[in-house]
C-alpha cells in the first residue's frame, strides 16, 4: 500500500490531472508492473478496493478507449522525474503493425 500512495503523490505533484484519474493511473501502472502483461481481465484482478473485477475490467476498457494521452505532459513529467538536463533529442519509432489484413502506422501526435 505504501508504493501506491507514493506513486499517487508523485503523480499528483507533477501532473495537472484530477485526483480520481491520478489514483486510477497509479493502480494501472502498478498492475502493469505486477502482472507484466496487458491482459485487461487479469489486470482487473489486481485492483484493490470494493469494486468487482468486472467493474475494474470495464474501467480499464474505458480508460484505454476514451482517454487521450497528453504526451507532452507525460514527456515533461518523465524528464523531470529522471532529472535529465536538456537539450533533448526526440527519436520516433515508426513501427508498422499488421492487424489482420490492415497495416497500422503508429505515429506520435504533432505538437506545435
Sequential DSSP letters for the chain: -HHHHHHHHHHHHH----HHHHHHHHHHHHHHHHH-S--HHHHGGG--SSS-HHHHHHHHHHHHHH----HHHHHHHHHHHHT--S---------EEEETTEEEE--PPP--
Stated pTM of the model? 0.65
Query: Residues 17-24: what's their mean pLDDT?
Result: 91
Q: Is the pLDDT of residue 112 over 50?
A: no
pLDDT value of position 99: 67
**Which three cell numbers mark 107?**
505515429
pLDDT single digits (tens) 61-86? 999 899 888 888 888 888 888 888 88
Amino acid at each position: 500500500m505504501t508504493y501506491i500512495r507514493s506513486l499517487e503523490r508523485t503523480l499528483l505533484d507533477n501532473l495537472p490531472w484530477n485526483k480520481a484519474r491520478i489514483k486510477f493511473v497509479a493502480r494501472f501502472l502498478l498492475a502493469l508492473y505486477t502482472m507484466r502483461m496487458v491482459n485487461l481481465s487479469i489486470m482487473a484482478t489486481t485492483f484493490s478496493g470494493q469494486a468487482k473485477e468486472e467493474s475494474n475490467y470495464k474501467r480499464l476498457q474505458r480508460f484505454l478507449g476514451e482517454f487521450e494521452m497528453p504526451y507532452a505532459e507525460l514527456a515533461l513529467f518523465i524528464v523531470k522525474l529522471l532529472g535529465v538536463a536538456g537539450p533533448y533529442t526526440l527519436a520516433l519509432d515508426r513501427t508498422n503493425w499488421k492487424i489482420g489484413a490492415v497495416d497500422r502506422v503508429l505515429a506520435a501526435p504533432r505538437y506545435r
